[in-house]
Structure 1
Amino acid sequence: MMRILLFLATNLAVILIASITLSLLGFDGFMAANGVDLNLQQLLVFCGVFGFAGSLFSLFISKWMAKMGTGTQIISQPRTRHEQWLLQTVEELAREAGIKMPEVGIFPAYESNAFATGWNKNDALVAVSQGLLERFSPDEVKAVLAHEIGHVANGDMVTLALIQGVVNTFVMFFARIFGNFIDKVVFKSEEGHGPAFYIATIVAELVLGILASAIVMWFSRRREFRADEAGAHLAGTGSMINALQRLRAEQGVPVHMPDTLTAFGINGGIKHGLKRLFMSHPPLEERIEALRRRG
């Protein structure tokens, strides 16, 4: 539950900071000086600028954040035959997927996991955990790498950043409309914005921000099926299924990965009840069944 709260807090913090910045810069001055009339076009433009700013900035620094957050060590010169095999395998998969060779790294974690990130498909990072390398067979490791290469080739990092920017924009937009309505209609403020506007706007941003996070996670889950298909195409359906089954066998092991990267790992952990709405990954059983249907 704490990981979900941290993830939501990150998204909400971006929205709230943008909200405060808009007010400090005076951009709220164009809204509803009389009654509930709003310049919706200007409001939408300003919300769009700030809504996309946070998500795009995070995208551009995603590789640096991933390295710092996970302690990933980049393999520049392979020191062992395992590192040499890892580089050769990623190079082969990247060539087959039609993308440039990404950076390759290993991060110190016991759980089996891997992630891909980067601001575009020709400037990406693919990393695997030490635990995955130690316990998975070469075919299973290759399938996991193929899954991550699939994310890169599909442009999933950019897609999620754009989706996050869109939902941030509309959270800010509708929250201000709601705040203005409460301020002008319910509390009858006549000049400027009264306290009701700011309180109502913040409350609306919190509620809409939670709903927006659920929407982003829904897109994230759809994206995992596509990456599994790409992994099956590049490494073989059987190997991809075996890798997912091995992940399922280790589901009791907690997933320790920064929340900003959880959506890009191959294993997102298990959640139950309402928490399932905020899962970045579909249940492994559903992913395995989808691959079996694919045949």
Structure 2
Amino acid sequence: MVVGTRARVSLGLRMVAALGAIAVVSVSIILVAAGVAGGMIVGGVIVAAYFVSLSALPVSNTAVSGFVGQFSMSTLLGGAVLIGLALLPTLYLTPVRAEIQEFKTELGTTGQLAVDRHPKIASIARRLAQQAGIPEPTVRIVTRMRPESYALGGRSDGTIVITRGLVRELTDDEIEAVLAHEISHLANGDGRLMGLLLVPLLLAEHVGSDERPKFQAIHTYGTVILVYLGQLLTWVVVTAVTTVQLWCCLLGVALFSRGRELAADRGAAELTGSPSSLASALETLDGGRGRPTEDLREFKRSAGALDILPPRDDSELSSPFRTHPTTETRVDRLRSMASQNET
């Protein structure tokens, strides 16, 4: 299974573009997250000092204003970002790391081993891995009725996840073609690279997932209004920024993913010697899918980017943001390969 020079250059350029977009987004996510966290603390200190000045304590309003006035806006913003950076591991990175681990667990370590439940599938994967020149991947079968397949990890520690729905929908030849597609991803190093690209996407999903703050009239009315306005402003800023970041992440992932999907299709066709089997599998899976009705977290776009087919709502996106080529495009390419093999 050899990728041509032209295809390698195309994949390389796509990877550079994707990494560039993701790098810019990652830096902006970190700075915004740090600014929000630090800004809330700095703002809280200023508000607290203001209310202290209104109390019976011997601190005048003029003194507080004078203290705050000693610092320029850039100094306050810079201080907020520095404070936020110090707090970032606790406030953001730790929860996101836990979410990423949960994401991987849901996709890759649940379900039963194919070697126990479906020895024939495990045997097919072993043979295909030998043909591709990589160690045998772990194959797991999860108990979801929606037909899906994923490739996780790298060449030496890969895991392929398929669902019971996929096993039930496809013929043996089609299952072999799907396994060959996922093994091609592992052989090309796509699982590891995609895992890195999905980290900032998961971060954007996590940071921007909070609901709009609700006004609750408790304690001193004036204090509540200020606190609520601060929460509302924070929510507006974070929502606006993370929405832009999320779409930039999707663009970066899409730039990387589409070319890799076509390369994995070609690799699967070469491994099995039957491009028509994968074409048939894609048509069957595409026709048998609907919108997910299970836990929505499992079907975030970050998960859909790893699947052999995109989520159903991916078709609603314009071309630059699609994580996969259209099924029609992929099937046409595979049918063309099959025709060339027959001549």
Same fold per superposition (TM over 0.5): yes
Question: How far does the alpha carbon of each residue in 1:21-41 deviate from its partner, in whole angstroms, 9 at most, with x for none?
Answer: 94399799xxxx523366699
Question: 1:263 and 2:296 equivalent?
Answer: no
1:211 matched residue in structure 2: 244
Where do residues 15-164 of structure 1 align in structure 2 (5 Å cutoff)? Answer: 22-23=37-38, 34-36=72-74, 62-66=103-107, 72-77=111-116, 83-118=118-153, 120-164=154-198
State TM-score, norm by structure 1. Answer: 0.63
- Which is greater in Rg? 2
Which SS does the other structure have where 1:116 is aligned? strand
Cα distance in 2, alignment partners of residues 154 and 48 from structure 1:
34
Deviation at 1:16?
12
User: Does the 8 Å contact 2:100/2:202 carry over to 1?
Assistant: no
Question: 1:289 and 2:326 equivalent?
Answer: no
Cα distance in 1, alignment partners of residues 306 and 195 from structure 2:
12
Deviation at 1:242?
2.0
Relative to structure 1, the CA distance from residue 125 to residue 21 in structure 2 (aligned partners, 3 Å threshold; closer, same or farther) is farther
Cα distance in 2, alignment partners of residues 131 and 240 from structure 1:
17
Residue correspondences, number? 251
User: Does the 8 Å contact 1:48/1:169 carry over to 2?
Assistant: no
User: Does the 8 Å contact 1:106/1:129 carry over to 2?
Assistant: yes
User: Does the 8 Å contact 1:112/1:247 carry over to 2?
Assistant: yes
The 10-residue stretch of structure 1 (34-43 or 263-272) with the greater mean CA deviation from structure 2: 34-43
Deviation at 1:117?
2.4
Question: How far does the alpha carbon of each residue in 1:35-83 deviate from its partner, in whole angstroms, 9 at most, with x for none?
Answer: 3366699799879978876666655555422257xx52223535xxxx2
Question: How far does the alpha carbon of each residue in 1:76-96 deviate from its partner, in whole angstroms, 9 at most, with x for none?
Answer: 535xxxx22111111122223
User: Does the 8 Å contact 2:180/2:267 carry over to 1?
Assistant: yes
Relative to structure 1, the CA distance from residue 273 to residue 141 in structure 2 (aligned partners, 3 Å threshold; closer, same or farther) is closer
Cα distance in 2, alignment partners of residues 114 and 47 from structure 1:
38
Cα distance in 2, alignment partners of residues 121 and 57 from structure 1:
25
Relative to structure 1, the CA distance from residue 287 to residue 43 in structure 2 (aligned partners, 3 Å threshold; closer, same or farther) is farther
User: Does the 8 Å contact 1:16/1:205 carry over to 2?
Assistant: no
Which SS does the other structure have where 2:116 is aligned? coil
Question: How much is the aligned-residue C-alpha RMSD, in angstroms?
Answer: 4.5
The 10-residue stretch of structure 1 (158-167 or 274-283) with the greater mean CA deviation from structure 2: 274-283
What is the percentage of aligned positions where both structures have the same residue?
A: 23
Amino acid at match of 2:239: L
Amino acid at match of 1:66: L
Relative to structure 1, the CA distance from residue 121 to residue 142 in structure 2 (aligned partners, 3 Å threshold; closer, same or farther) is same
State TM-score, norm by structure 2. Answer: 0.55
Cα distance in 2, alignment partners of residues 47 and 231 from structure 1:
46
Higher relative contact order (CA 8 A, sep 6+): 1
Cα distance in 2, alignment partners of residues 145 and 54 from structure 1:
33
Relative to structure 1, the CA distance from residue 163 to residue 132 in structure 2 (aligned partners, 3 Å threshold; closer, same or farther) is closer
Relative to structure 1, the CA distance from residue 135 to residue 268 in structure 2 (aligned partners, 3 Å threshold; closer, same or farther) is same
Deviation at 1:148?
1.6
User: Does the 8 Å contact 1:52/1:166 carry over to 2?
Assistant: no
Deviation at 1:289?
3.0
